[in-house]
Amino acid sequence: MSDKTPDLRTAYSLESPEDHKRLYAEWAGDYDESFAAREDYQLHIHTARAFVGAGGQGPVLDVGAGTGLCGAVLAGLGVGPIDATDISAEMLDQAMRKDIYRDAIEADLNEGIPVPRESYSGIVSSGTFTHGHVGPEALSALLRVARHGAQFALSINTKHFEAKGFADALRALEQDQIENLKLPQVRIYGDLAAGDNKDDTAFIALFEKS
């Protein structure tokens, strides 16, 4: 067991892939109740709806799928098939119990995703690009597995976006790899949230692979 209690503050302070695996192994069993419901977490809903609103279609890769919160919204909106990828085997186990995913792929984004090139028409990620998690260097791995014209909807914590240089990274990709970039800003939590991060926001990076 880790000496860190699973919570948002601990998640934001993670530094290594091993830290992620340990924390989320402990958190997986009650993540939906102890975090998502208690904190009135809404980001997965905003992300899924933005993807569909932009015309996104399957097959979709849900990146950093966790316990399947975003995937469940996508499935409810008629999107499919959906595959899940996450660094945590325990989180993926919880996600697969929801019976919404075609496949589960355990992977560290910084090392790439072990699927063939251009496998997906849609790439969705909610809550992965945030403090203590991956930065813009992981975008190349997502572009590799996306088909030409694939729709992306990636939530990026606003403070993380600024600190890690996402603006510059996306601007560089606009030169020849992505197009139609939009960055709507949304609240991560709903009106019932009461924690220190209740007013946090995120950009949803909407774009298509050129």
pLDDT in tens, 145-195: 999 999 999 999 999 999 999 999 999 999 999 999 999 999 998 777 666
pLDDT recorded at residue 39: 66
Instruction: Classify domain 8-209 by CATH number.
Output: 3.40.50.150
Cis bond upstream, residue 59 (ω within 30): yes
φ/ψ (deg, to 5) at 139? -60, -30
Give the residue among 73, 75, 80 at the shortest CA–CA distance from 57: 80
Q: Locate 88 and state its tokens.
A: 């945590």
Q: Which of 68, 70, 115 is nearest to 88 (CA)?
A: 68
- Confidence (pTM): 0.84
Mean pLDDT value across the chain: 84
- Tell me 164's DSSP state: T
CA 71, CA 47: separation in Å to the nearest integer? 10
Q: CB of 201 within 8 A of CB of 184?
A: no
pLDDT band at 127 (very low <50, low <70, confident <90, very high): confident
Mean pLDDT in residue range 199-206: 94
DSSP state of 35: I
Q: Could you tell me the pLDDT band of residue 17, with boundaries at 50, 70 and 90? A: low
